[in-house]
Amino acid sequence: MSEARSYLITFQGIEDLSWTSTLYSKFRKRFKPKLYIEVYVDQTKITPTRIAQNNVWGESLTIPEGQESSKLLIRLRHKSFLPTDPCFGIFEGTIGHLLSLCEGPEVTQLKLTHGLKKSMYDAQGVISAGIEVSEDGLARRNVLHGVHEDLAHRNIDHDAALVVPDALTNMAETLSNNEDLLDSLTTVMSKIESIVAVTLGAVDALAKVHPYADAAWKILSSVHKAYKHQKDTDADVVALFKQMEALYSFVDDLDNLPGKITRLEHTIMGILRQTTECGMFFREYTDRGFVGRFLGQAVSNRSQMISKLSSTLTEFRNDLNSDVQLHTAFVSSHTRDGVDSLVKSDILKALDPAKMNAASRPMCLPGTMQDRQKEIIEWLMNPSDQKQNVLWLHGAAGLGKSTLAATIAEYFRGFQRRGAFLLFDRNTPIESDPTRVISTLAYQLADHNEGVRSAVSTAIKDMQLATPLPHLSVQFTSLLCEPLAAACTGVTGPIVIVIDALDECGDHNSRGNLLKLLSSPEFAKLPSQFRFLITSRPERDIKGAFEARGCHHVKAVDCSKASETDMMVYIRHQISGIYEERRDIDELPDNWPGEKEIQRLVQYADGFFIWAALAMKLLSTEDAPVKWLADFLQHDRQVITLHDLYKTALLSVKEWKAGESTDIYRRILGIIIVSQVPLTDVVIMDLLGLDQDSGRACRTALRRLGCVIQWSEGQSARTLHKSFPDYLTDQSACSSEPWFINVKEHQHALTLACLRVMNDGLHFNMGHLTTSHVANTDVPDLAAHLEAAIPRSVLYSCRFWEYHLRQTVPGDPSILPLIRQFFELEFLYWLEVLSLLGEMSRASPMLVSVIKHVADPTSQVYAFAQDGLKFVGAFAPAIACSAPHIYLSCIPFAPRASLIKQQYMRALPNVLTIEIGMDENWPALQQVFNGHTDWVKSVVFSPDGQRIASGSDDQTIRIWDVTMGALIAGPFEGHTGWVNSVAFSPDGQRIASGSRDNTIRIWDATTGTLIAGPFEGHADWVKSVAFSPDGQRVASSSDDKTIRIWDA
């Protein structure tokens, strides 16, 4: 027997590497392998090499002890996310054999070989290697270095024995209890990786399967890591994964796998979805927090869920065996507790959620934006202990953010894990109002999960919620934070909330409070099972909020331009549709257009989907598509911008010569852009005051604008993309063009139009009610009744005239006469419409806007608006309940000096008259604010007069809406004694408070976040606080006989 010695084995690199499997070879051309060498000496593993750089290692490994007769096994592996890294090939021999090969040259060429069982990983290639006898001291140092490397990078348990080389053996013994489960997991993951490889880069049915395969593989990888360190595993868990292993036997035939996936697309997608769900369930099952939650419930819950999952896998196996496209029902481990079968509770209607049509959003074409989808899905599915809970995807208009958001939302809907999908649209500003975001989120989450539903319903009852809803900060605490915290123990994550196009949710002025909440530490504290995807343009206010220094819970991801491959797929798909539709009609030539033309379009698109979509829309609407495309591509310019394309589109509509026709086109574009909701052609004609002949011209214009405006007769007209209004209103882009839209000019025109329509169309009994003795809620099918009774142009004007008025110059002499006519003749009929629409809460704020617009306190219009505001403040509850009560009780009980009563009483001879005991004037008391639970010690108006802050002996500060009397922020809690004094900062953004606890605190007036203090120093109660005029300092006075100045 030869003497035992130490050896140094050197690996230089690998050459001529290729794979037998065509599919896997294609996969590896796109994704380079991470190669390393693994060496065994007499079945004992030594430290492996590092990952090769460009197929080169240049690294020496120590064999601490061996003989020339010792068996040597060298494996070429790829470092992957799989539990067992794929082996591309091996070399087998002895140390003596390798020494003999290296006698002359320092290195030799070792050809890769393989076992008898074929694998898609089998590769050809030669490894350059050498071996020499090593000094003992160097050998020992190399072994110790290898151990430290394993501890640092290989995640070996630190409590495992570190006797070299027995450490790995000890670790294997630790894991032996889970050997069966880990084997099954490894097999399933290997099969799924085959599906990933087959579907990668496809653009047909295979592409639809790819995201599900990728997600399933990553979830099972995390499960494998969790189970790797488990000491015990239940038998039913092992059985489930054995069942899953058997189910994936359909992957064994690699040659026929693509065809099978195409033929059984829905079944295989269902299997992958169910696999992912099993993985998520057991990943949480291994988590201590999840186990802790189960300990408080019946153990049978887990067993029942495993049984359901097992039954579903059996059904999928039967589907595969029948080789027929069947649709086995998906089973989610996130139990909805029968929420689908429940009728929506009337309680939740108080939330008044925005109506959003998710079906209107297009989704990614199969095979496009796959890398971005994978990145987002993986982040959303990450374990629930991750600190970040918001992924903010931002980028310029036209990059496909909304399409991507819709695709992700639909993906998680398939898993029954889409908790909410909010999609904002500039075309629908009412539904995209920032003040409705929290209530809409609460509504959709309540609809998704019974636990959340119960908690939100309780919150609504406790708040005695009614419209108008309280301030966003109050909604956030009561409708989201507390209900989600109460329900989270019964929720397994992730539950995904998608918020698309945040930049179209109001404007930078109106969404400030919402952004404060989304970027606040309180939002970061929402239960970790709830994960948010938010998309937007990188507007300055949104960017500032999400990238602020203290905003650690938001992960920002830049949505880069689409790849050339994605753009090619999209344009080919669109042109294919145009070709099929127009081939026979226009006698399109075969193979039109050519590869060169498609490549030019891809080049011009420059990664912007909106450019490609508009170009394809233009092509599809042209009478001579072949000629149009040829002419379009004759441009010598290397770049055709989106603005260039819009100009091309508009020039194709008409000649735009000065005259009535061009004026009608411009007015139509203007009203579409500035209107608050999308309008039908009939409403547009009414508001523009067009006669029958001009009405026909209006419909013709809408048809011809089809390349940039989405419309069909009788339907609402809207812009195809938000970048189009941006172009039309951009002075630098098109101020000299005949289609330029001056927004202020069109707001003024629409204000006049709304007032004209109301003054012409409002009348007594707008709802055509058959009796005065009925509540609005008791009118049968009220919505349909109003649709038939009131023209849409009148409904629009009643709801939005005040909004358009606010966009005009105060005191405009062309508007004031119409407002006066409105108050003198139509005011009560307007209140009828608001009552029947259920929007009486909007009346007071609208009248406040009118008062601000009129500006002249001595004018008759101002006096009417003030009296109208008092009338609404006194009688709004009665009017909201029943429109006829305007005449039955409100007019009779209004004081004699009321201008509204005096104006309308003579036109209503049959109403009740009160002769004795009637008030002469409106009472001095306008509002009573209820909410504090102890004495109120201090009140102060905000600088703009719209809010009141109050401090109380109940140790809280509250913020109130002056007009409506509603709590809009608070209670702010923190003081441990009576609050004796409160003060607004000059900008209205902060509140200072002084307390019996001897401290001063500074609060954010919107969110209630403590932003400075408590300031300590007074030795007795603080009795008064005040801001300096510049807002930089706060003064305080105290019973300790001192005044102090503080840096605010």
Q: Which residues contact 1039 (CB under 8 A, 6 or more apart)?
A: 1020, 1021, 1023
How many degrees, rounded to 5, is the angle at CA 705 between CA 699 and CA 710?
A: 85
> How far is it, in rounded angstroms, from Cα 261 to Cα 270?
12
Q: Which residues contact 636 (CB under 8 A, 6 or more apart)?
A: none
> How far is it, in rounded angstroms, from Cα 367 to Cα 28?
18
> How far is it, in rounded angstroms, from Cα 901 to Cα 81?
78
Question: Which range among 5-14, 643-652, 861-870 has the greatest average pLDDT?
Answer: 861-870
Q: Which residues contact 169 (CB under 8 A, 6 or more apart)?
A: none
Asked if 893 and 850 count as a contact pair (C-beta separation under 8 A), the reply is: no
Asked if 21 and 30 count as a contact pair (C-beta separation under 8 A), the reply is: no
Indicate the burial class of 108 (C-beta count within 10 angstroms; 0-12, 13-18, 19 or more). middle
> How far is it, in rounded angstroms, from Cα 268 to Cα 266?
6
Nearest to 890 by CA among 874, 906, 902: 874
Which pLDDT score is estimated for 861?
A: 94
Per-residue pLDDT band for 147 (boundaries 50, 70, 90) equals very low
With tokens 């090499």, the residue in question is 49
Asked if 738 and 664 count as a contact pair (C-beta separation under 8 A), the reply is: no
Give pLDDT tens digits for 634-663. Answer: 876 677 888 888 988 888 888 888 877 888
β partners of residue 126: 15, 111
Q: What does DSSP assign to residue 53?
A: B
Instruction: Check pLDDT > 50 for residue 52.
Output: yes
Averaged pLDDT, 14-42:
84
> How far is it, in rounded angstroms, from Cα 594 to Cα 33?
36
> What is the SS3 assignment for 774?
coil
What type of residue sits at position 848?
V
Per-residue pLDDT band for 332 (boundaries 50, 70, 90) equals low
- Token pair of 606 as six digits: 């420059």
> How far is it, in rounded angstroms, from Cα 1037 to Cα 1048?
15
Question: Which range among 275-284, 477-486, 648-657, 755-764 has the greatest average pLDDT?
Answer: 755-764
Choose which CATH entry (3.40.1190.20, 2.60.120.620, 3.40.50.300, 1.10.10.1100) describes domain 339-558: 3.40.50.300
3-state helix, strand, coil in the chain (%, to 5): 50, 15, 35
What type of residue sits at position 658?
A
Which pLDDT score is estimated for 1044?
A: 94
Higher pLDDT, 689 or 64: 689
Helices 743-761 and 792-806, axial angle in degrees (round to 10) = 140
Q: How far is CA 857 from CA 860, 862, 923, in A?
A: 8, 6, 20
CATH 2.60.40.150 fits 5-154, yes or no: yes
Asked if 983 and 1027 count as a contact pair (C-beta separation under 8 A), the reply is: yes
Averaged pLDDT, 455-466:
76
Instruction: Check pLDDT > 60 for residue 328.
Output: no
What type of residue sits at position 12?
Q
Q: Which residues contact 31 (CB under 8 A, 6 or more apart)?
A: none
Per-residue pLDDT band for 184 (boundaries 50, 70, 90) equals confident
What is the rounded end-to-end Cα distance, in angstroms, of the chain? 86
Helix (H) or strand (E) holding 65: strand 56-66
Higher pLDDT, 126 or 161: 126
Higher pLDDT, 157 or 251: 251
What type of residue sits at position 115?
G
Which pLDDT score is estimated for 19?
A: 87
> For the chain, how long is the longest CA-to-CA vector?
128
Q: Range with the lowest mean pLDDT among 276-290, 396-410, 520-534, 995-1009?
A: 276-290
Which pLDDT score is estimated for 152?
A: 39
Helix (H) or strand (E) holding 756: helix 743-761
Give pLDDT tens digits for 528-574. Answer: 889 999 999 999 999 999 988 778 889 898 888 888 888 888 998 89
Asked if 77 and 87 count as a contact pair (C-beta separation under 8 A), the reply is: yes
Averaged pLDDT, 260-265:
74
Indicate the burial class of 994 (C-beta count within 10 angstroms; 0-12, 13-18, 19 or more). buried
> How far is it, in rounded angstroms, from Cα 401 to Cα 403?
5
> How far is it, in rounded angstroms, from Cα 895 to Cα 405?
56
CATH 2.130.10.10 fits 936-1047, yes or no: yes
> What is the SS3 assignment for 1002?
strand
Task: Give the burial string for 844-878 (b: 16+ CB within 10 Å, else e).
Answer: bebbbbbbebbeeeeeebbebbbbbbbbbbbbbeb
Q: What does DSSP assign to residue 547?
A: T
> How far is it, in rounded angstroms, from Cα 722 to Cα 733?
15
- Token pair of 379 as six digits: 């982040």
How many degrees, rounded to 5, is the angle at CA 513 between CA 512 and CA 514?
A: 90
Domain ranges of the chain: 5-154, 178-322, 339-558, 564-640, 742-905, 936-1047
Q: Is 955 left (phi over 0), alpha (psi -120 to 50) or beta?
A: left
- Token pair of 171 as six digits: 């670790």
DSSP codes of every residue in 932-970: -SS-EEEEEE-TTSSEEEEEETTSEEEEEETTT--EEEE
Q: Range with the lowest mean pLDDT among 191-205, 347-361, 685-699, 768-782?
A: 191-205
Which pLDDT score is estimated for 810?
A: 92
Helix (H) or strand (E) holding 142: helix 136-153
Task: Give the burial string for 700-718 (b: 16+ CB within 10 Å, else e).
Answer: ebbeebbbbbbbeeeebbb
Which pLDDT score is estimated for 997?
A: 93
- Token pair of 874 as six digits: 């006194």
Q: What does DSSP assign to residue 778?
A: G
% of the chain at pLDDT higher than 90: 29
> What is the SS3 assignment for 89?
strand
Which pLDDT score is estimated for 55?
A: 85
Instruction: Check pLDDT > 60 for residue 968.
Output: yes
Asked if 766 and 789 count as a contact pair (C-beta separation under 8 A), the reply is: yes
Asked if 1000 and 994 count as a contact pair (C-beta separation under 8 A), the reply is: yes
| Helical ranges in 296-421 per DSSP H | 300-322, 346-349, 370-380, 401-414
Helices 743-761 and 681-688, axial angle in degrees (round to 10) = 90
Which pLDDT score is estimated for 632?
A: 85
Averaged pLDDT, 411-438:
88
Q: Which residues contact 695 (CB under 8 A, 6 or more apart)?
A: 681, 685
Instruction: Check pLDDT > 60 for residue 947.
Output: yes
DSSP codes of every residue in 621-654: H-SSHHHHHHHHTT---S---HHHHHHHHHHTT-
Task: Give the β-pairing of 530-536 and 390-394.
Answer: parallel
Which pLDDT score is estimated for 763?
A: 94
Measured in degrees and rounded to the nearest 5, phi and psi for residue 914 equal: -105, 120
Helices 609-621 and 595-605, axial angle in degrees (round to 10) = 130
Give pLDDT tens digits for 717-738. Answer: 988 888 899 999 999 888 889 9
> How far is it, in rounded angstroms, from Cα 620 to Cα 626?
10
Nearest to 822 by CA among 845, 852, 801: 801
> How far is it, in rounded angstroms, from Cα 547 to Cα 306?
43
Instruction: Check pLDDT > 90 for residue 320.
Output: no
Helix count and strand count (H, E) for the chain: 41, 27
Averaged pLDDT, 463-491:
78
Asked if 71 and 41 count as a contact pair (C-beta separation under 8 A), the reply is: yes
Instruction: Report cis status (omega within 30 of 0) of the bond before 971.
Output: yes
DSSP codes of every residue in 511-540: THHHHHHHTSHHHHTS-TTEEEEEEE---H
Give pLDDT tens digits for 216-248. Answer: 877 777 777 666 555 455 667 777 778 887 877
What type of residue sits at position 284?
E
Task: Give the β-pairing of 936-941 and 967-973.
Answer: unpaired
Q: How far is CA 532 from CA 212, 227, 255, 542, 556, in A?
A: 20, 28, 40, 15, 12
- Counting every residue written for the chain, the total comes to 1048
